[in-house]
Structure 1
Amino acid sequence: MTELLWLMGAATALINCPINTIFSQCDVILCDRLISQSSATHPYCEINETLLNFSEAGLKSQFSAGLFFKDMAGAHDSIVINNGPNTGLNQQAIFTKNSREVDLIGPLHSNIFFCKRLLLNSVDLRIKLTRASDAFCLMGVRDSTYKLKLLGASLFVKKVNISPAVRLGHESALLKANAMYPLSRVTVKTYSIPQNSRICNLENLFLGAIPKYIVLGLVDHEAYTGRRDLSPFNFRHMNVEYLALSRDGKQIPSKAFQPTFYQGTSVREFYNLFTATSGHLKDLPLAINRIDYQQGYTMFAFNLNSAEDVEALSPVANGN
């Protein structure tokens, strides 16, 4: 998908990876059935999967086409556009300086578009994108009134020609059963924690099917709802001192996370990002290092899969 953007103003810049994050919701409908998550969490799905699945080198090259420039750790909330401490914001702002038009290109971020199988003929596909508010997707002075205007968009769809024999085989198979498309479904859920709370217990995070792994991040509520001088992707550690999950009465991990962020002690929690997401002892680098982790990139990962490799084939587990 490509987009052409125009910022009506100068002293402002887009949030990171705007090719997807300027949309609060991406609805995908196949044959009149909604198959995507219907919630305004699309930007968080995009930014988390990008940070946890690609190396910094890949983000600097391929993903720069969608204006991804990694925010400087500890400077997410900087609104100094020119020569400010957030080098990622500075690089991105060059493209929209003085209300310059900028074109972006990148993949639409929805589960079905990461499926390796192609859609069969006669499958009706519809996509609905919902814009996020300007207060959410623009960084700048809090009371500023700059606006983001979409000038146009194009959707590029890959098509292939298959032989008549294969087409007849598809039609014959569809008389006996439905087409199956394996998906790795990613779901984002949000929960509110009262301000100044020392202890928070969240019950029934998942009822029924249990995900393979969970990644938990904490952001400021005002940033989440949209405030120009706060980055929505500043994942703060909030001085968490104790964290654990309970699955069917069993604690995960067996020894709870007990970081002391004010002393700079959080290496176990950082290292667990690799073990929980199948990057342990593999050449699958993340775009986050241990210094970044404590300064705006704090995420806690929990592997709930019986196999250590989350990509391994395993039956769907149910529980609470």
Structure 2
Amino acid sequence: MYSNEQKRSTLSISGYSPDSVIDNKDDSAFKTRSAWVKDGKKMQVAANISIDLTNQPRVLLNNCNMKLTAYPNSDEFLIDNYEDSGVKYKFEIEEVCCIVNEMDLADGLANEMETALMEHKLFQYPLISPQVRSFFIESSRLDSPATTLYTSKMPRRIFMGLVSGEAYNGHYNKSPFNFQPFDLRDVHIDYCGVTLPGRPMNLDFGNGKCVEPYLMLQEALGHTRNNTSCNSISFDQFKSKGFTIFGFELSPVPQDTNLFDLVRPTNLSIRLNFNKPTPSGGIYCIVYAEFDQIIGLDYQRNPIIDTVV
């Protein structure tokens, strides 16, 4: 969702370099990342903490206790290595620090906030909470029957991609972010008695018949309704170079974090059909969904999370 300018500037210090083709050892971005750590060189990086509470614009109250625990994936999942030398590379973290921005409020404003907190007993933070689900599709299948993923409330929008079974479980020679079409013909989202899209897509990625899902992805990201931002994913990349991600808007306000839609309990399911049997080893369907969420802090700074808003 970041622009190409951000990818080549601020995101570069997080260890990111924008690929033109995923899983290609000749791609310039892969060569750039390899040069950063070649021959065991150390690399210092900095990136935002991508969790719900830090992905919203409001500042936290003072004296809030937060504990962050990170669990890294396996080395096979984290490292791309296309040289087939048999060398088992390792990813090692030597030092971690957290940089926090602190605001020094005027005494009058700080006192007013404490008075309001004691009076109302609760400060609320509306935010967008993402949830990720995945399911496995066996090899030699031409379809995946309706798979129910969410059974509580309807998400704002969802994004879906397909990766090989080996890449999903970790493999030195395969990137877990290589989202391929796998000769997908149709994808349907069923929720609240509605099917999206309303008609079969009849996709044929090999012949370039996939404009509709590309446009739906850009619409879900909000890039088709303005001329000021773009995620720099070209149609050619979407079609065959590892960027085949499907986007669906389910809410009237999918991108506005200041507005909440009415809660609509529903069962959300996904149906997939393929032109050719799925490959050996099977594939995984990964679904990223965004939900309305509220986190509250009481006068003692205890967090209160309401999972149904």
- For normalisation by structure 2, the TM-score amounts to 0.80
Aligned counterparts of 2:61 and 2:173: Cα–Cα separation in 1:
46
Q: CA RMSD in A?
A: 1.7
Partner in structure 2 of residue 119 of structure 1? 60
Instruction: Give the CA deviation at 1:248.
Output: 2.3
Matched, 1:108 2:49: yes
User: For the Cα contact (< 8 Å) 1:235–1:297, is it kept in 2?
Assistant: yes
Matched, 1:63 2:4: no
Q: Which has the higher contact order (CA 8 A, sep 6+)?
A: 2
User: For the Cα contact (< 8 Å) 2:127–2:257, is it kept in 1?
Assistant: no
Instruction: Give the CA deviation at 1:135.
Output: 0.7
Partner in structure 1 of residue 167 of structure 2? 223
* SS at 1:317 equivalent: coil
Aligned counterparts of 1:239 and 1:95: Cα–Cα separation in 2:
35
Instruction: Give the CA deviation at 1:312.
Output: 6.7
Instruction: Give the CA deviation at 1:147.
Output: 1.1
Letter in 2 for 1:316: V
Aligned counterparts of 2:70 and 2:254: Cα–Cα separation in 1:
36
2:217 to 250, 273, 276: 273
User: For the Cα contact (< 8 Å) 2:162–2:181, is it kept in 1?
Assistant: yes
2:93 to 121, 133, 150: 150
1:319 to 266, 291, 294: 266
User: For the Cα contact (< 8 Å) 1:142–1:228, is it kept in 2?
Assistant: no
Alignment CA distance shift 1:116-1:138 (3 Å): same
- For normalisation by structure 1, the TM-score amounts to 0.77
Aligned counterparts of 1:282 and 1:311: Cα–Cα separation in 2:
18
Matches for 1:227-246 after TM superposition, within 5 Å: 227-246=171-190
Instruction: Give the CA deviation at 1:307.
Output: 4.5
Letter in 2 for 1:318: P
Matches for 1:44-63 after TM superposition, within 5 Å: 53-63=1-11
* SS at 1:257 equivalent: coil
Aligned residues between the structures = 261
Letter in 2 for 1:131: P
Aligned counterparts of 2:95 and 2:254: Cα–Cα separation in 1:
44
Matched, 1:292 2:237: yes
Alignment CA distance shift 1:311-1:101 (3 Å): same
Instruction: Give the CA deviation at 1:160.
Output: 1.1
* SS at 1:219 equivalent: strand
Aligned counterparts of 1:62 and 1:96: Cα–Cα separation in 2:
19
Partner in structure 2 of residue 37 of structure 1? none
Alignment CA distance shift 1:307-1:101 (3 Å): closer
With 226-235 and 166-175 compared, the bigger mean Cα shift is at: 166-175
Matched, 1:163 2:114: no
Aligned counterparts of 1:312 and 1:259: Cα–Cα separation in 2:
36
Instruction: Give the CA deviation at 1:77.
Output: 2.3
Partner in structure 2 of residue 7 of structure 1? none
Instruction: Give structure 1 stretches of 5+ with no counterpart.
Output: 1-52
Partner in structure 2 of residue 50 of structure 1? none
